[in-house]
A and B are shown apart, each in its own frame.
Chain A
Amino acid sequence: MDALIDLLPELWTATYETLYIVALTLFLGGLGGLCVGLGLYLTRGGSILENRALFFILNFLVNFIRPIPFIIFLAAAQPLARAVTGSGIGNNAIIFTIALAASFAMARIVEQNLLTVTPGVIDAARSVGAGPLRIIFTVLLPEALGPLILGYTFIFVALVDMSAVAGYVGGGGLGNFALQYGYRQFNPIVTWAAVLLIIVLVQFVQFLGNYLARKALRR
């Protein structure tokens, strides 16, 4: 317990770092996932921008990256992270790698949620002269908003999970804190302090996501 009190400054820093990593990856990965997911949805057979070749490539890419366990992906994508962020280690590198992995995970969730939009409303929009871009912003995204919010809430938890291994490439955060000060120094109280904080964070975000989704779905 005393050890934990001594470590409080480090704990707050780690919490802040986790929030920072997760917030940034949620934004970047969320945006990437939205783009790739829209790409999958729009190019599939019978959709408004049907393009078999593009769909095949996107679909292959998503299937290729998604099954790689994140800790291995982290190592495998390190040269790419170095090329993009300038360094293969540290928070920026891990943010890049998580955002990349999350984009492909999120893409499937986005695609699935868009597929729940009845094709008829797209026909209705086309029948009044709406073009593809307008259909995306005035029909597809608003109609799928409720499930999309739940999808983003779901991916948030996955991001917290992924950020926990940041310590392996010199990143910070609660995962690193728990391993470094709790596990390696045989202090379960310190480990559990980190676990508790993560649980509180996840519960809060899940609650917020449910609330927003309910509002979007009006039920």
Chain B
Amino acid sequence: MAVVSLRNVGKIYAPTSKGAASVTAISDVSLDIEAGDIYGIIGYSGAGKSTLVRLINALERSTSGEIWVKGQNIAAMRERDLRQVRLGIGMIFQQFNLLGSRTVARNVEYPLEVAGHPKEQRAARVTQLLDFVGLSDKAGSFPDQLSGGQKQRVGIARALATQPSILLADEATSALDPETTHEVLALLKRVNAEFGATIIVITHEMDVIQTIATKVAVMDQGRVIERGPVFDVFSNPQSAASARFVSTVVKGVPSPAELAVLRQRHAGRIVTLAFRDSAVDQSAVFGELARAGVGFEVVYGGINEIQGRAFGHLTLALTGADAVVDPVLDHIRTLTTVTEGR
């Protein structure tokens, strides 16, 4: 059952001044997010991904379509009724958004105050949460005394305070260095594994998707242009935008410019072979080449692993006469996809 389900959702911002055009941030997005998913939404700045995630807890209101969260259409709800819904949805932010006037412990306590939990119960829960994020010793510190990674961990503790079943992460690691990013992502993975929370991760970094997401949607100009299990999108992107994102973390098929450089260095034919999952046996392919006496050199590409499954592209420079090479390539085509770089 989908915990979050968007149906033809649109968001149009009214013109800010007379004569200005209205801005379409989201158009006709439909998306189903299953319980327990870590669902990544990736797109360039301005693709509408942040607006989309803010629609899910109604920080911004949609202008068309339905937004079903745990069986309620929140697009049709009034602001006052939404407050109850929001208690069941945690959110973490790129800029952490901690209250500077409160200590770490009192920041984490804040959602519990709003939810009306009694004081003693709150204190116990705060201790438990700070322990979970590894910041027990910082309870009395103020946010401006913490590093970025620590601030985000406080943000996560705060978002989890009321035990929400959905966690929204809006560019949660974009302000952090690579190492801290991986610490925070590891923590989110634990949140998913230990509490079973559904996590929706907004990012412009494919690396983040590769590290934690199980499913991904690619957004461009306010629309979802591709979606599916992360492995499928990575190993076989359908759209140009997806392919560009994938290429930021995966060395796949060489671009025309890269091919030109390879051409200069290698006289023979250049072919790119796809290896997906363990469906293609690398040794079988290389065995064919060796048997026919075709020399080869790996000049580009790599093999990646996503969620325990391997895939990748290897580009080979072949040496040998066409009469020898052609039949071998024909045979390899029966084993896997071959792209000839011309």
B341 within 8 A of partner (CB): no
Contacts of B102 in A (CB 8 A): 142
User: Could you tell me if A128 and B111 are in contact, using CB atoms closer than 8 angstroms?
Assistant: yes
B86 within 8 A of partner (CB): yes
Beta-carbon nearest neighbor of A145 in chain B: B101
Beta-carbon nearest neighbor of A139 in chain B: B99
A86 within 8 A of partner (CB): no
Contacts of A120 in B (CB 8 A): 93, 95, 97
Contacts of B86 in A (CB 8 A): 126-129
- For chain A, residues 47 to 63, give those with C-beta under 8 angstroms from any C-beta of chain B: none
> B104 CB to closest chain A CB, in angstroms?
14
Which of A45, A121, A123, A134 is close to B114, meaning CB atoms less than 8 Å apart? Answer: A134
Q: What bracket does the count of chain A residues touching chain B fall in?
A: 20 to 34
User: Could you tell me if A129 and B114 are in contact, using CB atoms closer than 8 angstroms?
Assistant: yes
Complex CA gap A134/B99 in Å reads: 14
User: Could you tell me if A143 and B100 are in contact, using CB atoms closer than 8 angstroms?
Assistant: yes
Which of A123, A131, A142 is close to B93, meaning CB atoms less than 8 Å apart? Answer: A123
Given contacts A129-B115, A130-B114, contact A142 B101 (CB under 8 A): yes
A138 within 8 A of partner (CB): yes
Complex CA gap A128/B83 in Å reads: 7
> B273 CB to closest chain A CB, in angstroms?
48
Which of B99, B161, B168 is close to A121, meaning CB atoms less than 8 Å apart? Answer: B99
Beta-carbon nearest neighbor of B155 in chain A: A124
User: Could you tell me if B110 and A138 are in contact, using CB atoms closer than 8 angstroms?
Assistant: yes
Scan B11-51; emit 1 where CB is below 8 A from any A CB, else 0: 00000100000000000000000000000000000000000
Complex CA gap A129/B164 in Å reads: 12
Which of B97, B101, B113 is close to A123, meaning CB atoms less than 8 Å apart? Answer: B97
A184 within 8 A of partner (CB): no
Contacts of B250 in A (CB 8 A): none
A125 within 8 A of partner (CB): yes
| Interface of chain B, main secondary structure | mixed
User: Could you tell me if A124 and B114 are in contact, using CB atoms closer than 8 angstroms?
Assistant: no
Contacts of B142 in A (CB 8 A): 218
Complex CA gap A138/B107 in Å reads: 11
B289 within 8 A of partner (CB): no
B261 within 8 A of partner (CB): no
User: Could you tell me if B101 and A127 are in contact, using CB atoms closer than 8 angstroms?
Assistant: no
Contacts of A139 in B (CB 8 A): 99
Q: What bracket does the count of chain B residues touching chain A fall in?
A: 20 to 34
Complex CA gap A168/B59 in Å reads: 54
- For chain B, residues 103 to 129, give those with C-beta under 8 angstroms from any C-beta of chain A: 110-111, 113-115
User: Could you tell me if A126 and B59 are in contact, using CB atoms closer than 8 angstroms?
Assistant: yes
Complex CA gap A49/B327 in Å reads: 73
A203 within 8 A of partner (CB): no
Complex CA gap A130/B116 in Å reads: 11
> A189 CB to closest chain B CB, in angstroms?
48
- For chain B, residues 147 to 181, give those with C-beta under 8 angstroms from any C-beta of chain A: 158, 161-162, 168
User: Could you tell me if A123 and B111 are in contact, using CB atoms closer than 8 angstroms?
Assistant: no
Beta-carbon nearest neighbor of B57 in chain A: A127
User: Could you tell me if A127 and B91 are in contact, using CB atoms closer than 8 angstroms?
Assistant: yes
Q: Output the residue of A126, A139, A143, A218 with the most chain B CB within 10 A.
A: A126
Beta-carbon nearest neighbor of B112 in chain A: A128
B84 within 8 A of partner (CB): yes
B201 within 8 A of partner (CB): no
Scan A130-169; emit 1 where CB is below 8 A from any B CB, else 0: 1100100011001101000000000000000000000000
Contacts of A127 in B (CB 8 A): 57, 59, 86, 89-91, 168
User: Could you tell me if A128 and B110 are in contact, using CB atoms closer than 8 angstroms?
Assistant: yes
A185 within 8 A of partner (CB): no
B87 within 8 A of partner (CB): yes
B80 within 8 A of partner (CB): yes
User: Could you tell me if A129 and B91 are in contact, using CB atoms closer than 8 angstroms?
Assistant: no
Complex CA gap A138/B87 in Å reads: 17
B52 within 8 A of partner (CB): no
Which of A121, A129, A143 is close to B87, meaning CB atoms less than 8 Å apart? Answer: A129
A13 within 8 A of partner (CB): no
B98 within 8 A of partner (CB): yes
Contacts of A131 in B (CB 8 A): 80, 83
Complex CA gap A121/B95 in Å reads: 9
Show the binding face of A for B, using Cβ within 8 Å.
45, 118, 120-121, 123-131, 134, 138-139, 142-143, 145, 216, 218
Q: List 14 A-B contacts (CB under 8 A).
A: A120-B95, A121-B97, A123-B91, A123-B93, A126-B59, A127-B57, A128-B111, A128-B115, A128-B161, A129-B83, A129-B115, A139-B99, A143-B101, A145-B101
Which 9 residue pairs are nearest across A and B when measured between Cβ atoms? Answer: A128-B111, A120-B97, A124-B97, A129-B83, A127-B91, A142-B101, A129-B86, A129-B87, A130-B114
Extra 14 A-B pairs, beta carbons < 8 Å, given A120-B93, A124-B97, A126-B86: A118-B97, A123-B93, A124-B98, A124-B158, A127-B86, A128-B90, A128-B115, A129-B83, A129-B115, A138-B110, A142-B99, A143-B99, A143-B101, A218-B142
Show the binding face of B for A, using Cβ within 8 Å.
16, 57, 59, 80, 82-87, 89-91, 93, 95, 97-102, 110-111, 113-115, 142, 158, 161-162, 168
